[in-house]
Amino acid sequence: MAKTTGPSATFCFQDFLTSFVVLAENGVIEWYNSAAAGTLVGKNGRGRLFSEMLAEAAKFGTISKTAVGRIIAGIETGSTTFRLEDARTFLLHSHVSKSSIYVEWTDISSVFSDAGGRDPTTGLFTRREFLVVIDNLLAQNSARHFIFDLRLDNFKDVNELFGHAVGDHLLRRVSERISGQIRIAEARLAHVGGGEFLFVATEDEALPLTEVLLDLLSRPHLVDGKMVYPTVSMGVAIADGSNAETVLRNASLALKKARAEGGNQAVTFTTEMHEAMQRKRMLETELRKALAMRELSLVYQPQFRVKGRRLVGFEALLRWNHPDHGSVSPAEFIPLAEELGLILPIGEWVLRTACRKAASWPPGISISVNISPLQFRSTTIVSSVKTALENSGLDPRRLDLEVTEGAILMNSAPIMETFRQLKAIGVRFSMDDFGTGYSSLSYLQKFPFDKIKIDQSFVRSLSANRDSLAIIRSVCALGKTLGLTTIAEGVETEEQMSQIEKKGCQQVQGYLTGRPLAPDVADRLVASSA
């Protein structure tokens, strides 16, 4: 093994797999480690020009003459790859400091071994190779870098509308536009499948880059004579002390958030996102056990006729009380239950429990049960409802199923059939959160609804927004025309109450007239209203 030469005895480079050299300003090798002796430099490299050695490598390999020139001239700090005659491939970084140039390279042949290691569409790095890039950056512990996870928002549509050839063409265009913006792009940009790219930028580059790319990539692309209008979302994370996988995961979490918030934007990773993800993981595990552990319960929020304020029914609302984590909002865990497929057993339990409760009340009192979209579209919904009704003995006309537009968005035959079968046994339907979706009117005509629940947002903004008043008025008029009952949700003040009454709304449900009640409290309310 070659003797390692260094300025200080405290350096012990033999253990490093990474090769490196330190060059004087004139490009002469001052010292280097043993790994470098085994690759580019050889035994007697000290005092020789590093550029000569690189130039030699460039003759056989893939490193470009300009890259060699730039590195040696110390023009910039950056990364590139090169391949030796013996086919070994290296990822090389150079940093320029005040009076010397530091160049290091790592053997990444293994990641290049299959299919040349490059993405076939764009010729860029794949995710695996990119991980090596990040690992190297982290090991260098030099200037701060930012990792971008960029994704075309509508790449799937482009593929479907124009075909894969156009899709691939677009990817190449995007990769060109990105590489045009980052220095030494070749080793810093990866294509990781579909319309997704990963790349590194320095701290100085990162902020302007975000703006430029959002603008540049959203401009129309002329691809095979077709105009394509993509938008992009980006997740950005700092490449700091953690490992490469963590950094990429952070960027990907930020990207998820950017997409969830409508796309066409960049979001920077924050530790809160990580915490949110951890909470989600925790809730997932706990939710799987919740039903068996009897942690779920129902509360009942009363519904009144506006005129005379007579009690007409209750809406069953799910509660999850976790022994360690306290009460978890259904707004948080219902979407999770849908994601995990738990909504079916949970929904069945809700139906059974709510029907049993309602059967103990007098005939004039109905029960509303929320049916989530996934549950409504499942093949078991009709039998679940029938079983709940049979077991409780509840008159089907007292059961009101609340569904949202989301449940019927696809106007497909099976959904119509579900409505038909349930209507046939006498069950009622409410359109929940009315006004928050889009083509609500046509749904009201197409599907056999009995009631419209005017969304809380309209009631809440009654005093601030004149439109809300107009919307409530027209929904109530529409209800009358179609023969549907109208109920306003989220009524909290007498002021709102008198407004909805004036506009002809027939029923009310809100904190003003009653909060969601524990079962025994609901029983007492029923008894006192009889």
Task: Quote helix, strand, coil % in the chain, to nearest 5.
Answer: 45, 25, 30
- Per CB under 6 A, the list member of 56, 168, 284, 492 interacting with ligand C2E is 492
Contacted entry of Ca ion, ligand C2E, none for residue 348, CB cut-off 5 to 8 Å set by kind: none
Q: Is 104 in the site for Ca ion (CB under 5 A)?
A: no
Binding window for ligand C2E (CB under 6 A); candidates: 323-331, 408-416, 418-426, 444-452 = 323-331
Long-range contacts of 415-422 (CB under 8 A, 24+ apart): 415/376, 415/377, 416/447, 418/376, 418/377, 418/381, 418/382, 419/447, 419/448, 420/448, 421/382, 422/381, 422/382, 422/385
Residues in contact with 273: Cβ distance below 8 Å, sequence separation at least 6, in sequence order? 250, 253, 254, 257
- The residue to which tokens 């005659």 are assigned: 85
Q: Which is nearer to ligand C2E, 196 or 405 (CB)?
A: 405
Shortest approach of ligand C2E to residue 431 CB, angstroms? 11
Q: Is 400 in the site for Ca ion (CB under 5 A)?
A: no
Binding window for ligand C2E (CB under 6 A); candidates: 9-17, 84-92, 238-246, 485-493 = 485-493
Rounded Cα–Cα distance for residues 526 and 361 (Å)? 7
Cα Rg for the chain, rounded, in angstroms? Answer: 32
- Per CB under 5 A, the list member of 153, 196, 400, 402 interacting with Ca ion is 402
- Per CB under 6 A, the list member of 93, 490, 505, 508 interacting with ligand C2E is 490
Contacted entry of ligand C2E, Ca ion, none for residue 372, CB cut-off 5 to 8 Å set by kind: ligand C2E
Q: Which is nearer to Ca ion, 77 or 404 (CB)?
A: 404
For residue 203, count CB atoms less than 10 angstroms from its CB and return exposed for 0-12, middle for 13-18, buried for 19 or more: exposed
Residues in contact with 363: Cβ distance below 8 Å, sequence separation at least 6, in sequence order? 395, 398
Rounded Cα–Cα distance for residues 153 and 265 (Å)? 10
Q: Is 368 in the site for ligand C2E (CB under 6 A)?
A: no
Residues touching ligand C2E, count (CB under 6 A): 19
Q: Across the strands, what pairs with 281? A: none
> What 3-state DSSP class applies to 213?
helix
Question: Distances in Å between the alpha carbon of 287 and those of 275, 349, 376?
Answer: 18, 14, 21
Using CA of residue 137, residue 139, residue 140, residue 146, what is the dihedral sign?
A: positive
Binding flags for Ca ion, 331-370, as an x/- string (CB under 5 A): ---------------------------------------x
**Considering only CA atoms, which of 393, 388, 447, 400 is closest in space to residue 428?**
400
Shortest approach of ligand C2E to residue 317 CB, angstroms? 4
Return the half-sphere exposure (C-beta side, CA atoms, 13 A cut-off) of residue 306: 21
Binding window for ligand C2E (CB under 6 A); candidates: 33-41, 220-228, 247-255, 327-335 = 327-335
Q: Is 229 in the site for ligand C2E (CB under 6 A)?
A: no
Q: Is 370 in the site for ligand C2E (CB under 6 A)?
A: yes
Contacted entry of Ca ion, ligand C2E, none for residue 104, CB cut-off 5 to 8 Å set by kind: none
Binding window for ligand C2E (CB under 6 A); candidates: 106-114, 142-150, 310-318, 480-488 = 310-318
- Per CB under 5 A, the list member of 135, 196, 348, 432 interacting with Ca ion is 432
List the interface residues with ligand C2E, window 496-525 (CB under 6 A). 510-511, 516
Q: Which is nearer to ligand C2E, 186 or 338 (CB)?
A: 338
Contacted entry of Ca ion, ligand C2E, none for residue 516, CB cut-off 5 to 8 Å set by kind: ligand C2E
For residue 512, count CB atoms less than 10 angstroms from its CB and return exposed for 0-12, middle for 13-18, buried for 19 or more: middle
Contacted entry of ligand C2E, Ca ion, none for residue 78, CB cut-off 5 to 8 Å set by kind: none
**Are residues 395 and 366 in contact, defined by beta-carbon separation less than 8 angstroms?**
no
Q: Is 135 in the site for Ca ion (CB under 5 A)?
A: no
Report the run of H or E that residue 227 belongs to, with start and end: strand 226-228
Contacted entry of ligand C2E, Ca ion, none for residue 350, CB cut-off 5 to 8 Å set by kind: ligand C2E
Q: Is 266 in the site for ligand C2E (CB under 6 A)?
A: no
Rounded Cα–Cα distance for residues 339 and 93 (Å)? 43
Contacting positions for ligand C2E (CB under 6 A): 301, 316-318, 329-331, 334, 350, 370, 372, 432-433, 490-492, 510-511, 516
Contacting positions for Ca ion (CB under 5 A): 370, 402, 432-433
